[in-house]
Amino acid sequence: MTPEHLHRSGTGPGVAALLAAGVSLVAAVCYLLAAARLRRRGDAWPPLRDVCFTAGGAVLAASVLVTPPGGPFTAHMARHLAAGMAAPLLLVLGRPLTLALRALPPGRLRRALPALSGSRPAAWILFPPLAAVVDVGGLWLLYRTPLWSASHERPLLQAAVHLHVTAAGLLFAFAVCALDPVRHRWGLPWRGAALLGAGAAHAVLAKSLYAAPPPGTSFAPADRRAGALLMFYGGDAVELALAAVLAAGWYAGSGRALARGARLRGGARPSPPRPLPGAGRGRRSPCRHPPAPGTSAPAAGGYPKGTTRKGVTQQSAEHER
């Protein structure tokens, strides 16, 4: 599950760890290049998103290269929080799918991204309760079964477990935050309920590890309890950050809905009349002619000033004759 699986004999990073760190750093560099391309052509892209995605890539790389202080189980939990919870949240806050859709040139890949994100399988994969089960359920399977002890003896299984934890964390953060454009975006009740359920399951798992170690392992009691406490409080911190993202999205969406409703209730304002050709540019309109000498200026309707309704009727009758 954790990056120490990718180290050889616990002495230093192995080939798999270096490869994972390189992939995360290359992704961060590609992100920054795409953001710079947007800004060069005059499009706006908030720098805070660059900071979030770059920090996520750095945290993910550090989780496989840096050995945290503490005992083996405490260091394991620090890497778990970094690779499976903190880094996915930071990467999702950078909105990489939105950036890819805006930065990619027209072509096959540019057309494939909207088709993939808008497909029916993608909508169900991003179903928040399902993403929570994949994420937290994998942790229960890892820590409450002999899977963790067995993974230390099989390098391919170790790499697969680590990849699953990181990918499941990304899936859960993407489904709960719902920042990037997808065809079917699940509502706030679904996402909030999934976050609450996942947080409760994660806390219960941490408490169970405080009481008993994973099957097939033997850690010092103090180390195991310190790691379980780190898992409990660190998980709460990341989940509070996810809740803050949910609240900010709800607040922004409510504000847009109120403004849209106010515009609809007020009705559309009539557009001002278009000026006549030449008006306002120092030239007299060809539709307006000065009155002839000895005549009065016409009033509204084209009749001279002082003309009565009776006079207009008499003129019309004579014209018809």
pLDDT, residue 303, reads 52
pLDDT, residue 143, reads 92
pLDDT, residue 314, reads 57
pLDDT, residue 9, reads 42
Q: How confident is the model over 8-60, as pLDDT tens digits?
A: 444 556 677 788 888 889 999 999 999 999 999 888 999 999 999 999 999 99
Structure tokens at 68: 């945290």
* Helix ranges, 152-220 (H): 155-177, 188-211
Q: How many residues comprise the chain?
A: 321
Q: How confident is the model over 252-263, as pLDDT tens digits?
A: 877 777 777 777
Structure tokens at 259: 């403004």
pLDDT, residue 1, reads 40
* Stretches in the chain below the pLDDT threshold 70: 1-14, 267-321
Contact 289, 298 (CB under 8 A): no
Return the percentage of the chain with pLDDT > 70, whole number: 79
- For 157-161, the CB contacts below 8 A with 24+ separation are 158/5, 158/6, 159/5, 159/6, 159/16, 161/1, 161/5
pLDDT, residue 6, reads 47
pLDDT, residue 10, reads 47
pLDDT, residue 121, reads 87
pLDDT, residue 134, reads 94
Inter-axis angle of helices 47-65 and 15-40, nearest 10: 170
Those residues with Cβ within 8 angstroms of residue 163's Cβ, 6 or more apart along the chain or in another chain: none
pLDDT, residue 304, reads 54
Compute the distance between CA of residue 62 and CA of residue 83 in angstroms, rounded to an integer. 9
- CA–CA distance from 22 to each of 15, 58, 99, 165 (Å)? 10, 10, 21, 18
pLDDT, residue 158, reads 82
What one-letter code names the amino acid at 111? R
Nearest to 25, CA basis, from 53, 52, 51, 61: 61
